[in-house]
Structure 1
């Protein structure tokens, strides 16, 4: 749902003429932290926080990410590579339905994206 909302955000931003915002979802992997009680030991398939941060930093700093964006959106996995989204998230109309439902649940009737100032060339 988060990815679908972000994909709809990217689409809505592009519709408003805003190309300066990049909507990138990043899955850092399974991370060994103290957030989950009872999971104290890092196993071979878990990443420590510094390893998990690698994919987030890659997306924030790599020109490759911008080149791989599709309609203002990209999804990257813990190995710093583009990842596949669920088939449902490929359907923009479904993503836009998630967007509208979220705004309705939050009782946001104002289109906040319409207030974006777009620089003209």
Structure 2
């Protein structure tokens, strides 16, 4: 699955592992929600498909008690994921582009949340 390829690339990056304080038992990357600091949450949503190629939205939230660190996490995610020019992410993912973002502050957990929305264009997989 396309999402598995993307998550594996994030989990394998040593600089991101360091920013997330990840361990072998905890990558610091979670589906939908976490209250943990120095972490990433994600959602993957199919936007369109014509049976040959697909377009999906990958929503990334970078959480940290420190605003600067939350942005450092996002900067590293962008360095890992974004494709430039004719470069492909892999054989199935044709392009990943940033398509927006934002910022929130969670008063309960005191986490800064820096958001990014990526458009993932890929070959359709059955």
Please state which band the TM-score falls in when normalised by the shorter chain.
under 0.3
The structure with the greater share of residues assigned to strand is 2
The structure with the greater share of residues assigned to helix is 1
After TM superposition, the score normalised by the length of structure 1 is 0.25
> Which is higher, the Rg of structure 1 or of structure 2?
1
